[in-house]
Amino acid sequence: MPSGAQKRQPKYQRIAAALKEAIAAGQYGPGDRLPGESELMGTYGVARMTARQAFAALQAEGLVEARKGAGVFVREFKVGLRRRGIQRLAVEVWGAGGSIWAADGHGRDPQVEFLGVSEKPAPAAVAAALGLPAGAIVRVRRRRFLLDAKPVMVATSYLDAALTAGTAIAEPDSGPGGIYARLADLGRKPVRFREEVRSRMPTPEEADGLGLTSGTPVVLVCRTAFTADGHAVEVNEMTLDASAYVLEYEFDAP
């Protein structure tokens, strides 16, 4: 029987909790269809709006997804990319002309969709990180990465516009090894990286750009690349589909 606290819960929350328990117990597995609104109405004696609120609560938690005309289904989390944060940045990868993004796919090379290169005043945090004056002009490179035709990440790189003027970094195709190899050509080889990682729910623009279903969070990774003398030469802000990635960091004890 429901406890006193459960009885005080709104009906839709009690229904959502019951469905969560059924999912956790394996009664409904990934990809399975949950009972429809009419079934919930009959089982719990509630109005259609209450049934919809229960489903909405589960969607907000990222446990289920609604498919138009088909019903509500338990979400399947298919991790397509294991992002090895340290190994992928090794000079042996980009220094040999390889793509650090291809390293994530492990044989399934992610497709890179170039979204543009431009010059604009640096955001305050970017200018500070690159050691540039406030409002300095930076070169902005934006890319979207897809795996099996599904967007999984959008990345925006910021670099000193004066440093990179007239180089392949200002072109859509920066050449073998990408922008780190081109920075090395300029005598500004990155040798150290710092990544800051956090997570939140996506903005509408992010959800649209990554094709995210309701309840899917994003992982934000901000990477700064440094030369041997400690000068920052790139800030890269990445927005990842949290359901598509595992972030892995392996390192020796200091």
Give me the residue spans of the domains in the chain: 4-74, 81-248
Please report the pLDDT score of residue 79 as a whole number. 59
Do residues 122 and 162 make contact, with C-beta atoms less than 8 angstroms apart? no
Do residues 60 and 215 make contact, with C-beta atoms less than 8 angstroms apart? yes
CA nearest neighbour of 223 among 100, 97, 120 = 100
CB neighbours of residue 26 within 10 Å:
8
Over the chain (254 residues), the average pLDDT of each successive run of 10 is 65 93 90 92 93 89 83 77 70 63 63 93 96 96 90 95 96 92 95 93 92 86 96 96 85 77
CATH class given for the domain over 81-248: alpha beta
Please report the pLDDT score of residue 6 as a whole number. 57
Between CA 123 and CA 140, with CA 241 as vertex, the angle to 5 degrees is 25
CATH architecture assigned to 4-74:
Orthogonal Bundle (1.10)
Please report the pLDDT score of residue 140 as a whole number. 97
Helices (H), the chain: 4-8, 11-24, 37-44, 48-60, 91-94, 102-105, 124-130, 161-164, 178-185, 204-210
Q: Do domains 4-74 and 81-248 have the same CATH topology?
A: no
Please report the pLDDT score of residue 59 as a whole number. 84
Enter the tokens of residue 82. 């294991």
Task: Determine the distance from the C-alpha atom of residue 83 to the mean position of all C-alpha atoms in its chain, rounded to a whole number.
Answer: 11
Please report the pLDDT score of residue 173 as a whole number. 92
CA nearest neighbour of 238 among 199, 188, 191, 187 = 199
